[in-house]
Chains A and B, each alone.
Chain A
Amino acid sequence: MSDYRSLLERAAERVSPPDDAFEALARHRDRRRRTRRISSAALALVVAAAGIGVAVAALGGGRAPQPSASGPVSFHALWPDQTYAQAQATQSRVDAGREEWRTDRGEVARRFAETLLGATEVSLTFSPSNDDVVALVPGAVQVHGAVQPSQAPGFSEPRRFTLHFVQPLRTGPGGIWSVVKVDSGGITMPVEPGAEIRSGTTLELPTKLDDGTRVQAASTYIGHCGSSTNYVRARVRGGLISVRVGASTFEEHCGGVDGSGSSSSVGGSESAQGTGPGDLAEPVDGYVFVEVAPGAVDGYDPFTPGGPQGTVALQDFAAVAVRFVPAGTSESPGPTAEPSTGLAAYEDPAGWTISYPEDWSLGPFDENDVRLSFSGIVISNFAVEGGVLETSFLKDFPADGVVIELFHRSGGPAPIGWLPDDTFPLSFDAFDQNVQLASPQPPDVTAYQKDFVANFVPVHDGRVGGPRRHRYRPGCHPTRGVVADVPPASGWHRDPARVQLLRPRHTGRVPRGLGDQVRSLQPAADRHDGAVVRLLPRAHGSRVLRAGLAERLRARLQGLRRHV
């Protein structure tokens, strides 16, 4: 029989991929990421904070909805919802089984590209490390009015937009997604979502646009009964776009409107006005955007319905949701800002460093239950007893309390080592927001959590096989590691076995090439004892040795070395 291929091909024709295969894959990936977040991690940093003020001051900014001095809630989002009331209404509709696309980040991104960027087809790439979505828009234009994209001035090169997302009301599968920031391939918005911008601040946006290119920037105030946008023009100079934002007063005369900020009231109501140059009297939420177009785009706010008639073709575009504050207010420019107070630094045995206000307290904890042990430190601005298992401090969490925990976990299921390396120092935006802690958690305590990954070391040449075939590369030999035996775990946690070395002491970007190179070893079921082998820093090993596994570990280490 010479034509096995045609026979097999005929049998294979029984199955065909569905039309929405890529979208299904994206959903599958999102589910997998959520599951993985819930599952174990070798190293975790937990920040539990109550009150955005202290969190912002100490760490540079949380971006969840927070109480506001001037309104019921300070809310930062660009699209589709711009106010807390709108988001609440949308979430209610979603909970009632309508508008399910709002819970699909990819679908929100796709509609954003179609609605605001005029894309008829868009390629989406999901960031593996955060909630960003990169939208590649092939030569599309922003179309306003009835003109078709093909009739409008086009751009031959695909353009890249990075859409930053949050789930503003609740995290998880049922929470709606909102776009809070847009960067483009040509313009970078140097402000993080939710940052406080002093009235009249000059922003400098790095850009790849040619010097002399005309741009239009705008600040939009979103009030209780309407919005107001103030435009300024600028030109690119030396690779920067310098624009003054929030440089006008803001007055509202809501009249018969109930002031709830309902969706119908936002969108150019004449009762909300920017009344000219001057300082803001009160903080107000809003957004900043910069747009570039070959033609005139005067008075065009892509986030606001209505506007000029005809076609508006945007060549480039960047935006961010912010909070404008009076000029006399101290500013929170973003998560990379250093607190103004004096700082102390803590460096843990594995090399991780945390800077914190020097008047805060630091204490160690070491907790164990049957199969898990947590060892680390707690940094806090109030008295804290416990850490991960003992969390009675959550009951009396002060309104301005901040707790930072850095700990190593040992025992339990093997960590899933397939995450890409994180970038150091960690940005607060990289944290998962509104994490539900395992222990009973008061509703006014917001937890942020970040499982981070660094330097998974390649241990063999990429071929699947057992340790006997491995050759440790020079420099990757676990000279500082010990071989630890993860306690027996059940089910899928035990396979495939993986080897990892958590290399300490990072000061900046983790070198590429060392990251995300975990290799599958031979399946656990094929090993003589089914154990997962991990190479861990000395600190981990010492703890495991104390747990009474010294002899087994030595035997395993010797056994492994024989094979090297």
Chain B
Amino acid sequence: MSSTAGSATEPIVSAAPGTFEEFFRAEHARLLRALYLVTGSAEEAQEVAQDALVRVWERWDRVGAMDDPTGYLYRTAMNVHRSAVRRARRAVGRLVHPGAGRDPFADAEDRDEVSRALRGLAPRQRAALVLTELLGYGSEDAGRVLGVKAVTVRALASQGRAALRSTMEHDHE
């Protein structure tokens, strides 16, 4: 099954693309949308996606020959995101008012219950949920992307689903 640029829900299948641009066209939209859910910010998602894609581009000779270049892309993106989060935490730690570090999902459309529910999740729970539910990764593959064990992924995703369900059920009451 080939990837579809416009959908974030196609199962992850390496497209074995010939050129980086083809790979980009196939993966960019899905990566951007997944990162939007993970980061909670369209702007940050765009920045992380660009950083990750440039890194893949710079070593496309090697990545393009991999069995799963898409997996490499998502691993890179998650690394970029984690680095950004660390930098943000350090920056926030130096501030006089630590409360300034507002979750970016707070800026999302509050009327959207899914966004509001995601806002209540920890970043790792969001990532696990997006990888397993939205992108269709198995827990082993998702663990490789996140740098954690498969069992951790399953726990995080389960916690994420429970929190999501709880939040949304509460909203419906």
Chain A residue nearest to B133 in the complex (CB): A4
Q: Is B50 a contact of A24 with CB atoms below 8 Å?
A: yes
Q: Is A22 a contact of B25 with CB atoms below 8 Å?
A: yes
B2 within 8 A of A: no
Contact of A12 among B36, B59, B61 (CB under 8 A): B36
User: Chain A, interface size: which category?
Assistant: 35 or more
Given A7-B114, A12-B8, A25-B57 in contact, is the A1-B164 Cβ separation under 8 Å? yes
A11 within 8 A of B: yes
User: Chain B, interface size: which category?
Assistant: 35 or more
A21 within 8 A of B: yes
A432 within 8 A of B: no
Q: Is B55 a contact of A525 with CB atoms below 8 Å?
A: no
Q: Is B134 a contact of A9 with CB atoms below 8 Å?
A: yes
Contact of B9 among A9, A25, A136 (CB under 8 A): A9
Contacting residues of chain B (78-95) with chain A, CB-CB under 8 angstroms: 79, 82-83, 86-87
Given A12-B134, A16-B29, A128-B58 in contact, is the A464-B147 Cβ separation under 8 Å? yes
A212 within 8 A of B: no
Q: Is A11 a contact of B79 with CB atoms below 8 Å?
A: no
Q: Is B37 a contact of A8 with CB atoms below 8 Å?
A: yes
A146 within 8 A of B: no
Q: Is A1 a contact of B79 with CB atoms below 8 Å?
A: no
Q: Is B86 a contact of A5 with CB atoms below 8 Å?
A: no
Contacting residues of chain A (184-235) with chain B, CB-CB under 8 angstroms: none
- The complex places the Cα of A21 from the Cα of B32 at a distance, in Å, of 11
B7 CB contacts on chain A under 8 angstroms: 9
A1 CB contacts on chain B under 8 angstroms: 161, 164-165, 168
Q: Is B114 a contact of A492 with CB atoms below 8 Å?
A: no
Contact of A15 among B45, B87, B114 (CB under 8 A): B45
B131 to chain A, nearest CB (A): 11
Q: Is A420 a contact of B134 with CB atoms below 8 Å?
A: no
Q: Is A12 a contact of B161 with CB atoms below 8 Å?
A: no
- The complex places the Cα of A523 from the Cα of B21 at a distance, in Å, of 30
- The complex places the Cα of A520 from the Cα of B79 at a distance, in Å, of 9
- The complex places the Cα of A5 from the Cα of B29 at a distance, in Å, of 16
A251 within 8 A of B: no
Chain A residue nearest to B87 in the complex (CB): A492
Q: Is B59 a contact of A11 with CB atoms below 8 Å?
A: no
- The complex places the Cα of A492 from the Cα of B34 at a distance, in Å, of 25
Q: Is A420 a contact of B61 with CB atoms below 8 Å?
A: yes
Q: Is A4 a contact of B161 with CB atoms below 8 Å?
A: yes
A410 to chain B, nearest CB (A): 24
- The complex places the Cα of A307 from the Cα of B139 at a distance, in Å, of 65
Contact of A123 among B21, B61, B114, B147 (CB under 8 A): B21
- The complex places the Cα of A125 from the Cα of B118 at a distance, in Å, of 38
B114 CB contacts on chain A under 8 angstroms: 7-8, 10-11
A418 within 8 A of B: yes
Q: Is A420 a contact of B59 with CB atoms below 8 Å?
A: yes
Contacting residues of chain B (44-103) with chain A, CB-CB under 8 angstroms: 45-46, 50-51, 53-55, 57-59, 61-62, 75, 79, 82-83, 86-87
- The complex places the Cα of A491 from the Cα of B37 at a distance, in Å, of 27
Q: Is B21 a contact of A32 with CB atoms below 8 Å?
A: no
Given A1-B165, A15-B36, A15-B42 in contact, is the A8-B134 Cβ separation under 8 Å? yes
A496 within 8 A of B: yes
Q: Is A14 a contact of B36 with CB atoms below 8 Å?
A: yes
B115 within 8 A of A: yes
B76 to chain A, nearest CB (A): 8
A465 within 8 A of B: yes
B154 within 8 A of A: no
- The complex places the Cα of A10 from the Cα of B115 at a distance, in Å, of 10
A25 CB contacts on chain B under 8 angstroms: 24, 50, 53-54, 57
B153 CB contacts on chain A under 8 angstroms: none
Given A418-B55, A418-B59, A496-B79 in contact, is the A11-B133 Cβ separation under 8 Å? no
A128 to chain B, nearest CB (A): 5
B112 within 8 A of A: yes
Q: Is A11 a contact of B86 with CB atoms below 8 Å?
A: no
Contacting residues of chain B (99-148) with chain A, CB-CB under 8 angstroms: 108-109, 112, 114-115, 118, 129-130, 133-134, 144, 147
Chain A residue nearest to B5 in the complex (CB): A17
B155 to chain A, nearest CB (A): 16
A7 CB contacts on chain B under 8 angstroms: 114, 164, 168
User: When each residue 20-35 of chain A gets 1 if its CB lies under 8 Å from chain B and 0 otherwise, what string results?
Assistant: 0110110011001000
Q: Is B133 a contact of A5 with CB atoms below 8 Å?
A: yes
A551 within 8 A of B: no
Q: Is B34 a contact of A12 with CB atoms below 8 Å?
A: yes
User: When each residue 499-528 of chain A gets 1 if its CB lies under 8 Å from chain B and 0 otherwise, what string results?
Assistant: 000000000000000001100101101000
A13 within 8 A of B: yes
Q: Is B37 a contact of A29 with CB atoms below 8 Å?
A: no
A4 CB contacts on chain B under 8 angstroms: 129, 133-134, 161, 164
A130 to chain B, nearest CB (A): 13
Chain A residue nearest to B117 in the complex (CB): A7
A422 within 8 A of B: no
Q: Is B134 a contact of A5 with CB atoms below 8 Å?
A: yes
A128 CB contacts on chain B under 8 angstroms: 57-59
Contact of B21 among A9, A125, A491 (CB under 8 A): A125
User: When each residue 519-562 of chain A gets 1 if its CB lies under 8 Å from chain B and 0 otherwise, what string results?
Assistant: 01011010000000000000000000000000000000000000
7 more A-B residue pairs beyond the given contacts A5-B9, A25-B50, with a C-beta to C-beta distance below 8 A? A1-B168, A15-B33, A123-B19, A125-B21, A464-B79, A495-B86, A517-B62
> What is the interface of chain B, defined by CB distance below 8 A to chain A?
7-9, 19-21, 24-25, 28-29, 32-34, 36-37, 42, 45-46, 50-51, 53-55, 57-59, 61-62, 75, 79, 82-83, 86-87, 108-109, 112, 114-115, 118, 129-130, 133-134, 144, 147, 161, 164-165, 168
> What is the interface of chain A, defined by CB distance below 8 A to chain B?
1, 4-17, 21-22, 24-25, 28-29, 32, 123-126, 128, 136, 418-420, 463-465, 491-492, 495-496, 516-517, 520, 522-523, 525
Complex A-B: 20 CB contacts under 8 Å: A1-B161, A5-B134, A8-B37, A8-B114, A11-B114, A12-B34, A14-B115, A16-B32, A21-B24, A25-B24, A123-B19, A123-B21, A128-B57, A463-B147, A464-B79, A496-B83, A517-B62, A520-B79, A523-B83, A523-B86
